[in-house]
Amino acid sequence: MSIHKILKQYWGYDSFRPLQADIINSVLEGQDTLALLPTGGGKSICFQIPALAKEGLCLVISPLIALMKDQVENLKKRGVAAEAIHSAISRRQIDRILNNAIYGHVKFLYLSPERLETELFQARLNDMNVSLVAIDEAHCISQWGYDFRPAYLNIAKLREQLANDIPFIALTATATPIVHKDILQQLKMPDAKQFKKSFVRSNLSYSVFEEEDKRGRLLRILNNVAGTSVVYVRNRKQTKEIAEFLNRHRIKATFYHGGLRPQERDKKQTDWITNKTRVVVCTNAFGMGVDKPDVRTVVHLDLPDSLEAYFQEAGRAGRDGNRAYCILLQEQADQLKLQENLRLSFPDNELIKRAYQALCNHHKVALRAGQGQLYDFDIADICRAYSLSPKLAFNAFKLLQQCGYISLNEAVFQPSSILLKMNRDELYAYQIANKKTEPYLQAIIRRYGGVFDHFTAINERELAKLLRISEKSVIDALRYFDKQDVLSYEEQRQKPTVYFDQARVSTDELKLNDDRLNYLKQTKQEQIQAVLNYANTNNTCRSLQLVAYFGELDARPCGKCDVCLARKKVSLQTKDYDRISKLIVESLRNQKLSTEVLVQHHLDIKKEDLLKVIRWMKDNELLTIDEEDKLSVR
């Protein structure tokens, strides 16, 4: 089929978004390809369609389990065979998936970069008919990226193991120029075709407001702008408090964070997508894989940790192309909190070693053991048992991940699944010989198709209702069948996990790479400074500030952000305002001057225009005035 027919058949669209067809054709021509598309730009289609147009398997390397699960489920709904290998599934399931990938029963195989190096995957790779390798969230490969993952550096080794003509496609929504360059270098793609869609979202209005009464301002925003909204806050407690506040003021809201039960998260997300709930108040755990086109406002009640994160979260607004509003509310204390978060993000080496030892002891991991092992990760239990601060310990574990010792995985619900090991004849004979087992096995066969061929998700409660027995009885029966080798039973998992990338070493042998940690700290500091600059720069268009951060320097002012709207009130052309404001700043750089003296210094500027700019700069706190009526730069 042509790429347009594939688009229509599987996605129902008549045409591609800008650059999508060009990127797809580049891949189909066998070219290595780098696609830089902002959030909502339709990145996944850029590798999914060429993979469907080619024979063979597409390997998709992705950093987040939730993102993998979401894309796999979406592909399966479209009738495409897709599987994901991640730490929430067992070795038996991984083994089965890899076999299916070898025999051509899987079209898309998603896996984390850490899984590339495992013995199990490496043993099967040469037997797979790989036709395309897609690297999602490719900024993670760059040590200058905001979310670097050491295991991403192993991806380039695939080139030595696969045929030379297999193209690689790298995709990201948040690459600064230095990250962009590093992606190409680390993936060994010097001749890659590069596609970069403008980061300008012309339908979005960005604003930053200094506000002490954030809740009151949020109410006014939501009452003034109709439609659905996302409100981002920093912690789980706030999500519930703000949602309750909005409901008390007759705005239907719900809260969302990573600590909710899977069924709860699914229901809250579905209610919001179907407009049963107008506002979702959430942490940054919300939004990955959610594509609701008609979000009219995204409000941040706290300063984000980076402009990359802010641009991605704010970018969930207005994907239908209609006007939408991205609003950041801040107060003086927020900037101090951000600096404090920086301090807590980098505990000293002794604490990192204590956290590592606590983690290993908690899971009874012996020295030189543990590599490739997966454990539930309950940080509260570990901190209670070993007297650690949860926040500092979590950041210590994140740094251990950066140094390649462990991999932390977010809590993702993995439902129970079963695979019948016996064929139909063997199962029939088993039931004849074990009459008591017949109702259970017949219920499984009737309720769940495909259990003879692959691991199939099941619901123990559903089976219990069908059999009119307790859920515990169903679980006990399934465990018994597993022991009897009738079937493989994988019980549900929904806790965060930790995976040991390396065998345990003594704390004296722990190599923390001070240069690397200092570099990470410096990078984090620069990211925070970029956020503070954005929040406090009130004389440059917000959209221009954001896209310039990502290397787009030739954009035009948006005309609709808080800065542009305020400037329109000055009734001056942008170029005239910029020229006059720069002259004012230069005049006041090392001295204080009264308005009258400032006017005398610039007789070449119309007095009316100069006074307009001075007034606007004072109103926006870019200039201050002292008791002697002298102006100075803030």
Contact assessment for residue 392 and residue 344, using Cβ atoms and an 8 Å cutoff: yes
Q: Which one, of 578, 579, 539, lies nearest residue 562 by Cα?
A: 539
* Number of neighbours of residue 256 by Cβ within 10 angstroms: 24
Q: Are strands 324-330 and 204-210 parallel, antiparallel or unpaired?
A: parallel
Q: What is the mean pLDDT of the chain?
A: 90
Q: Give the model's confidence band at 79: pLDDT under 50 very low, under 70 low, under 90 confident, else very high.
A: very high
Over residues 95-136, the pLDDT tens digits come to: 999 999 999 999 999 998 888 888 889 999 999 999 999 999
pLDDT at 516 over 90: no
Is CATH 3.30.450 the classification given to domain 417-490? Answer: no
* Number of neighbours of residue 165 by Cβ within 10 angstroms: 7
What whole-number distance in Å separates Cα of residue 175 and Cα of residue 181? 9
Over residues 335-376, the pLDDT tens digits come to: 899 988 888 889 999 999 999 999 999 999 999 999 988 888
Q: Which fold has domain 571-633?
A: Arc Repressor Mutant, subunit A (1.10.10)
The CATH architecture one would assign to domain 3-196 is 3-Layer(aba) Sandwich (3.40)
Q: Which helix (H) or strand (E) holds 332?
A: helix 332-345
pLDDT at 46 over 90: yes
pLDDT attached to residue 303: 95
Segments making up each domain of the chain, as ranges: 3-196, 204-330, 339-413+495-524, 417-490, 571-633
What is the number of alpha carbons within 13 Å of residue 407 lying toward its C-beta?
Answer: 24
Q: In what order do the strands lie in the sheet with 406-409?
A: 374-376, 497-500, 406-409
The most confident of 88-92, 445-449, 515-519, by mean pLDDT? 445-449
CA angle in degrees (0–180, nearest 5) for 368-373-374: 140
Over residues 285-326, the pLDDT tens digits come to: 887 667 789 999 999 999 999 999 899 899 999 989 999 999
Contact assessment for residue 456 and residue 418, using Cβ atoms and an 8 Å cutoff: yes
pLDDT at 149 over 90: no
Query: Following DSSP, what letter does each residue of 517-552 receive, concatenated?
Result: HHHHHHHHHHHHHHHHHHHH--SS-HHHHHHHHTT-
Residue with structure tokens 């069948």? Answer: 481
* Number of neighbours of residue 415 by Cβ within 10 angstroms: 15
Give the C-alpha distances (Å, rounded to integers) separating 589 from 142, 476, 593, 614.
38, 77, 10, 15
| Tokens standing for residue 156 | 């380039």
pLDDT attached to residue 73: 87
Give the C-alpha distances (Å, rounded to integers) separating 545 from 98, 288, 548, 581, 619.
46, 25, 5, 17, 21
Contact assessment for residue 283 and residue 239, using Cβ atoms and an 8 Å cutoff: yes
What is the number of alpha carbons within 13 Å of residue 568 lying toward its C-beta?
Answer: 9
Amino acid identity of residue 556, one-letter, is R
Residue with structure tokens 């074990």? Answer: 434
pLDDT at 396 over 90: yes
Amino acid identity of residue 118, one-letter, is T
pLDDT at 565 over 70: yes
Q: Give every CB contact of residue 73 below 8 A, 6+ residues apart in sequence.
A: none
pLDDT at 145 over 70: no
What whole-number distance in Å separates Cα of residue 618 and Cα of residue 634? 9
Tell me what the mean pLDDT of segment 404-425 comes to.
83
Looking at the DSSP bridge assignments, the partners of residue 325 are 205, 297
pLDDT attached to residue 6: 96
The CATH architecture one would assign to domain 339-413+495-524 is Orthogonal Bundle (1.10)
Contacts within 8 Å (CB) and 24+ apart, 537-541: 538/208, 538/562, 538/563, 538/566, 538/620, 538/621, 538/622, 539/563, 539/581, 539/617, 539/620, 539/622
pLDDT attached to residue 413: 64
Identical fold, 417-490 and 571-633: yes
What whole-number distance in Å separates Cα of residue 375 and Cα of residue 394? 16
Over residues 442-485, the pLDDT tens digits come to: 999 989 888 888 888 899 999 999 999 999 999 999 999 999 99
| Tokens standing for residue 339 | 């600096």
What whole-number distance in Å separates Cα of residue 139 and Cα of residue 135? 9
Q: Are strands 57-61 and 108-111 parallel, antiparallel or unpaired?
A: parallel
Q: Give the model's confidence band at 146: pLDDT under 50 very low, under 70 low, under 90 confident, else very high.
A: low
pLDDT attached to residue 169: 97
| Tokens standing for residue 49 | 């369609």
3-class SS string, 239-279: HHHHHHHHHHCCCCEEEECCCCCHHHHHHHHHHHHCCCCCE
Residue with structure tokens 């239908």? Answer: 320
Query: Following DSSP, what letter does each residue of 413-444 receive, concatenated?
Result: -B--EEEE-S-HHHHHHHHHH-GGGHHHHHHH
| Tokens standing for residue 479 | 């465990």
Contact assessment for residue 269 and residue 227, using Cβ atoms and an 8 Å cutoff: no
* Number of neighbours of residue 426 by Cβ within 10 angstroms: 12
| In 441-541, beta strands by DSSP E | 456-457, 487-490, 497-500
pLDDT at 4 over 80: yes
CATH assignment of 204-330?
3.40.50.300
Q: Which one, of 419, 424, 358, 426, lies nearest residue 390 by Cα?
A: 358
Q: Give the model's confidence band at 411: pLDDT under 50 very low, under 70 low, under 90 confident, else very high.
A: low
pLDDT attached to residue 239: 96
| Tokens standing for residue 61 | 């390397």
Contact assessment for residue 559 and residue 332, using Cβ atoms and an 8 Å cutoff: no
Over residues 210-247, the pLDDT tens digits come to: 999 999 999 999 999 999 999 999 988 999 999 999 99
What whole-number distance in Å separates Cα of residue 257 and Cα of residue 282? 6
